[in-house]
């Protein structure tokens, strides 16, 4: 039996537009080194989230993150940057695809070890996307 190559998603996905920061996680720092040309400040790269689900996120980055690598992701509160981040987690890069409009990469990742704190952050953000428990998404 042949596989169709069709990806079937089991989690509700929301298209979003949020600034975030990503860097190689400490556990993979010896495996993946960023070049100085990447422009990383303390290893952090500015990225842009484009989709979000209970299982992971998709984002656009001008810097390549290898498939299988573990990265740290921080999504600041866009309404008040002095507040704690909306999401602060580790995720595993599951897919990487070059964009065709600009020199960038579409990166999809899955949350790693989603404990109680991360589950609460995910639930809060998902509720905001649905228009529950917040004024803005």
Q: Which two tokens stand for residue 94?
A: 């599951």
Yes or no: say if 91 and 53 are a contact pair by the CB < 8 Å rule: no
CATH of the domain at 41: 2.40.10.220
Domain annotation covers residue 9? no
The label of the residue with tokens 């089991």 reads 10
Give residue 92's domain range.
Answer: 21-129
- Annotate 91-110 with b (16+ C-beta within 10 A) or e (fewer): bbbeebeeeeeeebbbbbbe
* Structural domain count, the chain: 1
Domain annotation covers residue 109? yes
Domain annotation covers residue 37? yes
Provide the pLDDT confidence category of residue 136 given band limits of 50, 70 and 90: very low
DSSP string computed for 97-111:
EE-SSSS-EEEEEEE
Residue 9 has pLDDT above 70, yes or no: no
Tens of pLDDT, residues 29-51: 777 766 666 666 678 999 999 99
Domain annotation covers residue 7? no
Q: What is the pLDDT of residue 135?
A: 47
Residue 83 has pLDDT above 50, yes or no: yes
Domain annotation covers residue 36? yes
Average pLDDT for 62-80: 90
The H or E element that residue 56 is part of is strand 56-61
User: pTM for the full model?
Assistant: 0.78
Distance from C-alpha of 125 to C-alpha of 75, rounded to nearest angstrom: 11
Domain annotation covers residue 11? no
Domain annotation covers residue 12? no
Domain annotation covers residue 15? no
């Amino acid at each position: 039996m042949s596989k169709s190559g069709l990806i079937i998603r089991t989690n509700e996905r929301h298209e979003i537009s949020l600034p975030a920061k990503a860097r190689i996680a400490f556990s993979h720092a010896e495996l993946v080194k960023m070049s100085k040309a990447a422009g990383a400040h303390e290893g952090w790269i500015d990225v842009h989230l484009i989709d979000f689900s209970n299982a992971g996120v998709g984002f656009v980055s001008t810097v390549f993150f290898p498939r299988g690598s573990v990265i740290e992701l921080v999504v600041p509160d866009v309404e008040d940057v002095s507040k704690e981040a909306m999401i602060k987690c580790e995720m595993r890069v599951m897919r990487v695809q070059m964009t065709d409009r600009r020199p960038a990469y579409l990166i999809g990742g899955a949350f790693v070890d989603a404990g109680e704190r991360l589950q609460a952050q995910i639930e809060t953000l998902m509720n905001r996307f649905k228009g529950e428990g917040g004024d803005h998404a």
